[in-house]
Amino acid sequence: MTGSHTSSVMESELESLYQVSQVLSRSLDFRETLMELLKTLNDSGNMRHGMICLFDKQSGDLLVSALHENPEPFNAVRYKPGEGVVGTILESGEPLVVQRISDEDRFLDRLGVYDPDLPFIGVPIPIGDQTAGVLAAQPSGSLNLLERQNRFLQMVGNLVGQSVRLGKKVEDEQLALKHERDSLRRKVRGEHGFSNMVGHTRSIRLVFEQVRQVAKWNTTVLVRGESGTGKELIANAIHYNSPRANGPFIKLNCAALPDTLLESELFGHEKGAFTGAVSQRKGRFEQAHGGTIFLDEIGEISPAFQAKLLRVLQEGEFERVGGVKTQVVDVRVVAATNKDLESEVQEGSFREDLYYRLNVMPINMPALRERREDISDLARFLVGKIAKSQGRELEIDDGAIGLLMRYDWPGNVRELENCLERAAVMSEAGLIDKKAINLTGLEGSLQPGPASLSSVANVDIDDPNLDERERVIAALEQAGWVQAKAARLLGMTPRQIGYRIQTLNIKVRQI
């Protein structure tokens, strides 16, 4: 080989290596990178029918991951270590050069693409001291160049090995993030699942059934009820049990911001739209695209802003503050209010068309005083939640629940939870009893009701002077209004005491 020819070959190899390195650093799509690499070897390196096989840890086989001029994946074609030419290279970790591939007994020709009269070079793809795969091709040109082409392909194999190592690392990190994401999704769905909806009264069961039904669709929902009844929990349950559960869930309290900031917060703004707008910013509606937006305290927005909100609810369109381009979003809206919107409409302070746009599916949350029978279950559920957050065992006894049931709870479930958390702090031994409840300051707010209420827990339920209604009320009070326990005290079945409560028109308020 003349000096000038050798120099020309070296220049060609260096140019090919440069192009290979460019390809390997250009794309994060690993399969696309491998295909582009084989194309480069074909075009500038005179390496035909390039193939890359990568080792699959799960099966222990070599899988054909890329094949020049064959964009479809060949993962179905595989070689076991030691099987055929490719498996031999994997097992030995050494390159293999064959002057005429059809003369090689170990050649299996599973792909059916190789020219039987051309040479064949296969080299290992190393990662440290391990072989991660095999790079193979059929060189064209003089047979005198085979050894040089072998060394060239080994250099390419080393470069591919570094890319495989990086690709594997990125893949492992993405897999770990995916597992973490899926775990968090399962946790969030568990926290907002139907199993965490507590209560058995007719009014709250109706709410739960409405949530189950409406969660399936994209219908706009208006959750109504007093402060602290759990409107946000209902919004969470609707989103995380809907087809949009994998999409974003964006929340905004409309009462927390004035109109000027509310418009920017919901619709976003362009750079320079106002003083301080140093960059473009997406609003909550854009952030919620493909998911759900929860607009709390919707009754607090001004009539001027109501018109702007109406458009996005009707058309799914808006412009950012300071912008002219119309943005289109696909967002499911859940709103909440504790206001009497019907009166607001009559007074003219709330737009009638917006009211009807929001009130497609109303869900009315009952006040806690209207479902006192649920206080026992709610208290135990909340105590379990508090115990988990405090990292200790907590219990609440029937006497404490009896006290809780004698309070009107103007702050509803939120107030009940706050009360129980204070009581838990006061309970060093982990038992929330009457004393712990009294230490929260609740005692002075209790409603005494009938004259017999304060002493009903001490009534002898076997006293022959008691009528049936008084006996049932006394048993319920002594059992903390747990009907199954009261039934045992009276020697009844739960069905029988349930029938007595209904026929005797006993309400929790009458204890």
DSSP for 362-396, written as a single string = EEEPPPGGGGGGGHHHHHHHHHHHHHHHHTS--EE
Share of the chain above pLDDT 90, in %: 29
Instruction: For 346-402, write each residue's pLDDT tens digit.
Output: 999 999 999 999 999 999 999 998 888 899 999 999 999 999 999 999 999 988 888
* Percent of the chain predicted with pLDDT > 70: 85
pLDDT tops 50 at residue 160: yes
Residue 352, both tokens = 């009638």
Express each pLDDT in 118-143 by its tens digit. Answer: 899 999 988 888 888 899 988 877 77
Say what the pLDDT of residue 259 is.
79
Hey, what CATH topology would domain 194-366 get? Rossmann fold (3.40.50)
pLDDT at 212: 92
| Cβ neighbour number for residue 417 with a 10 Å cutoff | 19
Instruction: Determine the pLDDT at residue 509.
Output: 41
Residue 126 CB neighbour total at 10 angstroms: 19
pLDDT band at 465 (very low <50, low <70, confident <90, very high): low
Better-scored residue on pLDDT, 140 or 268: 268
Strand partners, 282: 268
Kindly tell me if the per-residue pLDDT of 334 is higher than 90: yes
Collect all residues with Cβ–Cβ distance below 8 Å to 145 and sequence separation of at least 6. Answer: 9, 139
Confidence category of residue 500, pLDDT binned at 50, 70, 90:
confident
Is the pLDDT at 442 greater than 80? The verdict is: no
| Separation of alpha carbons 121 and 111, rounded Å | 16
Looking at the chain, which residues constitute the CATH 3.30.450.40 domain(s)? 3-171
Question: In the predicted model, is pLDDT for residue 315 greater than 50?
Answer: yes
Reported as a pLDDT band with limits 50, 70 and 90, residue 183 is: low
Tell which CATH classification among 3.40.50.10490, 3.30.450.40, 3.30.360.10, 3.40.640.10 matches the domain 3-171.
3.30.450.40
Element (H, E) at 130: strand 130-139
At residue 508 the predicted structure's pLDDT band, cuts being 50, 70 and 90, is very low
The whole-number pLDDT of residue 453 equals 41
Record the tokens describing residue 137, joined without a space: 């091709």
pLDDT at 455: 43
Triad 268, 272, 276: Cα angle to 5°: 80
Taking a C-beta distance cutoff of 8 angstroms, is the pair 329, 312 a contact? Answer: yes
Report the pLDDT value the prediction gives residue 495, as an integer from 0 to 100. 84
Number of residues that make up the chain:
511
pLDDT of 7 over the 90 cut: no
- What pLDDT score does 207 carry? 93
- Provide the pLDDT for residue 180: 75
Distance CA 161, CA 134 (A): 10
Band of residue 258 on the pLDDT scale cut at 50, 70, 90: confident
- Per-residue confidence (pLDDT) for residue 244, from 0 to 100: 92
Structure confidence at residue 511 (pLDDT): 39
Is the pLDDT confidence value at 450 over 50? no
> What's the rounded mean pLDDT across residues 284-296?
94
Given a contact cutoff of 8 angstroms between Cβ atoms, the answer to whether 39 and 68 are in contact is: yes
Residue 75 has pLDDT above 50, yes or no: yes
Higher per-residue confidence, 420 vs 502: 420
Residue 284 CA, chain-centre distance (Å), reads: 18
**Confidence (pLDDT) at 214:** 95
CATH, domain range 370-447: 1.10.8.60
Chain centre distance of CA 142: 60
**Sequence ranges of the chain with CATH classification 3.40.50.300:** 194-366
pLDDT at 187 over 80: no
User: By C-alpha distance, which of 391, 388, 390, 379 is closest to 420?
Assistant: 379
Kindly report which listed range (363-372, 483-492, 498-507) carries the lowest average pLDDT score.
Answer: 498-507
Weakest mean pLDDT among 44-48, 111-115, 154-158:
44-48
How confident is the model at residue 195, as a pLDDT? 61
- How many other CB atoms sit within 10 Å of the CB of residue 26? 11
Lowest-pLDDT range of 116-125, 182-191, 479-488: 182-191
Does position 169 have pLDDT exceeding 70, yes or no? yes
What is the reported pLDDT for 449?
A: 40
Structure confidence at residue 277 (pLDDT): 66
Lowest mean pLDDT among 185-189, 238-242, 482-486: 185-189
Give the model confidence (pLDDT) of 8-67 as tens digits. 556 666 767 767 777 776 655 677 778 888 888 888 767 888 888 888 888 888 888 888
Statement: residue 447 has pLDDT above 90: no
Which CATH topology does 449-511 take? Arc Repressor Mutant, subunit A (1.10.10)
For strands 249-253 and 292-296, give the pairing: parallel
Write the CA distances from 378 to 201, 333, 371, integer angstroms.
12, 28, 11
Least confident of 87-91, 267-271, 389-393, 456-460: 456-460
User: Is pLDDT above 70 for 507?
Assistant: no
Ranges for all domains in the chain classified under CATH 1.10.10: 449-511
| pLDDT score, position 412 | 93
